[in-house]
Chain A
């Protein structure tokens, strides 16, 4: 079975993460890594391939060329190869443009399964799979916390606001997995050594037949016009536990009359 996994490089959380007030886009110049939720999708793809005893796991990503450094982590875990769509003309793509470009790349791969992580930690969108499935005209199931693949179909359990649904779908299908589905493996030393040599195809929009006005800002339908600080929560205190952490919490609780 051929499985495509959509992965994204994101800026690390923490004080360095910010929007660039000039471009109104995310500042991608700081420390970056693979969106950790996508590791669950990679892990699931590897397990499905291992269980089937055959198949291929292809990573598909859109991002800057330097994103290959992050994508290699998933290759080191065991994915077979990567396709990175990297093009100046794709910068600033919103959902409409991103889903169009990714769908073009996925059409070319024609996998049996397309897996997504539960959300990208820089966009918090948790919607991209729905747009991609629509463009590929494939069935789609999101928020998967248990997955079974057998006999050309998938059965999935997922959480909604009301508890757990169980949904079935034939293959090929587009799936988004929750971070509770599995525990991503650590790459082995051998995996890390071998990752660099695995095929890493950097493609341009034109290679995929994406028209210039379908990607980047030209292909996007949303704008950001201003950035404001959120309402402040007041003072926050953060201390390192040096063995007295519990006492310090206790003092705080006593001061606030909780204990």
Chain B
């Protein structure tokens, strides 16, 4: 068996999720290689070797500077064709999902996503996949190689293990359509104020607030409880609340002692960022909202009534 792990990097750092996946893959298959794709990325090879890669492929080219998926499909497809990898693994992200989806069609290779664990059984890779909003965990497999997998971020902690780390440069030859989409402005994280990752209590607002002004109600509750305010992607995309407060797959992963969600539906991409909260309380007017499936205490009701009333009760108790 042989395995290739896609290593996603941002700036000079390989993403922690990619390194965790690499160490897991190397523990399952000694013949595990990694690939780093970008511009000016040769220096990243040593980081990969330290997490168990027997070989590190580097695709270094100006045309790969922007983190866009389609050129990466070209690079990885060529590597798979030349080296015959049995498994190609990705730590889930916006970029990696689009790369994996494209590669699946290019190679007619099966892709399983949302995997929380990987194992080798009878010489073949099998995965654990959470499905239907985590109401079921399926054992999934592949009927042909290469087997493509997207692993949920945070599934594996990076563990240092020595790999030979032989560095090899990968050919870069792009399809005509792969270069058509271009990056005008690339996202860069900006330092912000107090982080929601530090707070013991988070009051989270979603689109159910109805307007950016309604966040004031949550700020008041958070202040009364001694917590901070967090948000969902829907409200951040809409410009109602700043991106650094966003919980979820493309936001922060938090594990407060108390999470209170108001007007949050509990979409899976939000849930993955807050499911380790010790206690979860939800207020939502839709009794079928998925958030009730994983709340310790849920109230089906209008947040505009319940939240201010709760704030008043908390203030009253604190005197």
Contact = CB atoms under 8 A, between A and B. Distances in A.
A229 B140 contact: no
Interface stretch (B19-27, B44-52, B166-174, B308-316): B308-316
A67 interface: no
Interface residues of B, number: 101
A17 B141 contact: no
A125 interface: yes
B3 interface: no
A221 B110 contact: yes
Given A238-B298, A246-B309, A252-B297, A226 B139 contact: yes
A160 B131 CA distance: 23
Given A143-B94, A236-B294, A99 B299 contact: no
A160 B135 contact: no
B315 to A, nearest CB: 10
A142 B94 contact: yes
A159 B233 contact: yes
Nearest to B258: A258
B299 A245 contact: yes
A53 interface: no
Nearest to B286: A13
B98 A142 contact: yes
B187 A249 contact: no
Interface in A140-181: 140-143, 145, 155, 158-170, 173, 178-181
A20 to B, nearest CB: 11
Interface residues of A, number: 87
Nearest to B260: A249
Nearest to B275: A233
A80 interface: no
A250 interface: yes
Chain A contact residues, majority secondary structure? mixed
Contact of A245 (B137, B234, B306): B306
Given A19-B131, A124-B114, A145-B237, A131 B105 contact: yes
Contacts of B175: 137
Given A127-B97, A131-B104, A241-B299, A140 B141 contact: no
Given A140-B69, A236-B296, A17 B135 contact: yes
Interface string A117-138: 0010010111111111111011
A222 B184 CA distance: 37
User: Which of A94, A127, A142, A159 has the most chain B CB within a 10 Å cutoff?
Assistant: A127
Contacts of B29: none
Contacts of A26: 132
A236 B181 contact: no
Contacts of A135: 105
Contact of B313 (A128, A238, A247): A247
Interface in A75-119: 94-96, 99-100, 103, 119
B56 interface: no
A54 interface: no
Interface in B188-210: 188-190, 201, 207
A137 B249 CA distance: 28
Contacts of A14: 288
A38 to B, nearest CB: 15
A95 B184 contact: no
A160 B100 CA distance: 16
B119 interface: no
Contacts of A239: 298-300
A23 interface: no
A209 interface: no
A236 B292 contact: yes
Contacts of A119: 269
B139 A225 contact: yes
4 nearest CB pairs, A to B = A241-B301, A221-B110, A130-B101, A180-B237
Interface of A: 12-14, 17-19, 24, 26, 94-96, 99-100, 103, 119, 122, 124-135, 137-143, 145, 155, 158-170, 173, 178-181, 220-230, 233-241, 245-250, 252-254, 256, 258-259
Given A130-B100, A223-B142, 14 more contacts: A13-B133, A119-B269, A135-B105, A161-B250, A161-B251, A167-B68, A168-B181, A180-B238, A221-B142, A225-B138, A226-B139, A228-B137, A236-B298, A250-B314
Interface of B: 10, 67-70, 73, 93-95, 97-106, 108-114, 126, 130-144, 150, 175-177, 180-190, 201, 207, 225, 233-238, 243, 249-251, 257-258, 268-269, 279, 281, 283, 287-288, 290, 292-302, 305-307, 309-310, 312-314, 317-318
23 contacts: A12-B288, A13-B290, A96-B104, A126-B113, A130-B102, A131-B102, A132-B105, A137-B177, A140-B98, A161-B249, A163-B188, A166-B183, A179-B234, A220-B143, A222-B142, A222-B143, A228-B137, A236-B298, A237-B297, A238-B298, A245-B309, A249-B310, A258-B225
